[in-house]
Amino acid sequence: MLLINKMFKNKRGDDMLIDFWAIAVFAVIILLFFLLFSLSKSQNDSSVQAKFINKDVNFMLESFLRAPALEVGDSSKTIGEVITEDSTTGDFTRTEKLFETYFNQVNTLNGFKVNAIRIDITGPNSDGDTITRNQKTWRFIRAKFLSFTDGRKDVYVSETYLPGYESRIDVKLSLTELILASELKDAANKEKAQQNTK
């Protein structure tokens, strides 16, 4: 009891306790700042990179729609026009063939392997009658499905619209990039070496 009374009366002990908690709280705040800064920095870097690659995917989609429809024997029409025509019948055989040929050699993106290229076309469903017609999506995939145990998959998407005969047609191009863990490590080392150079 005497000891407890002493403790409560001990002003110096109070000071030390206050100092201790002040340091603890301060350390926690510093830690939070560190986390905040490190997270926001990495997010900024990755978002800048993603913007660049999304731009490339956007260029690919625009080029695809603007390209002449060579594989179906009519270079006077663009692939975009063929898609519009196909949407009226619901038979996208020509579009699929053009898609397969056009993206045949796209194997890498930003230095890493492309695992899959997918195109989604959404337009009016030609099976239903004109009044109750719903929207339908046709999907074509050119995929490699490379096997991997550890790594990262990044998906980049670009979307645009085509004027259809009945309503607009949505065209979406998605590219899935596969980055193996070893490639990620190599890229990080390379970047580090580059930073050290400067």
Q: Which residues bind other proteins (CB under 8 A)?
A: 12, 15-16, 19-20, 22-23, 26-27, 30, 33-34, 37, 49, 52, 55-56, 59-60, 62-64, 66-68, 70, 75, 101-111, 190, 193-198
Q: How far is the CB of 135 from other proteins (least distance, A)?
A: 28
Q: What are phi and psi of 56, to 5 degrees?
A: -65, -45
Q: Which is nearer to other proteins, 20 or 165 (CB)?
A: 20
Q: How far is the CB of 149 from other proteins (least distance, A)?
A: 25
Q: Which is nearer to other proteins, 147 or 196 (CB)?
A: 196
Cα–Cα distance measured from residue 86 to residue 169, given in angstroms and rounded to the nearest whole number: 11
Q: Answer positive or negative: Cα dihedral of 141, 53, 191, 35.
A: negative
Cβ-based neighbour number of residue 69 at 10 Å: 22
* Contact (Cβ atoms closer than 8 angstroms) between residue 162 and residue 83: yes
Q: How far is the CB of 2 from other proteins (least distance, A)?
A: 22
Residue 91 DSSP SS3: coil
Q: Which is nearer to other proteins, 66 or 152 (CB)?
A: 66
Q: How far is the CB of 52 from other proteins (least distance, A)?
A: 5
Q: How far is the CB of 42 from other proteins (least distance, A)?
A: 13
What is residue 175's DSSP assignment? E
Q: Which is nearer to other proteins, 109 or 121 (CB)?
A: 109
Side chain identity at residue 172, one-letter code:
K
Q: Which is nearer to other proteins, 31 or 155 (CB)?
A: 31
* Contact (Cβ atoms closer than 8 angstroms) between residue 62 and residue 78: no
What is residue 10's DSSP assignment? -
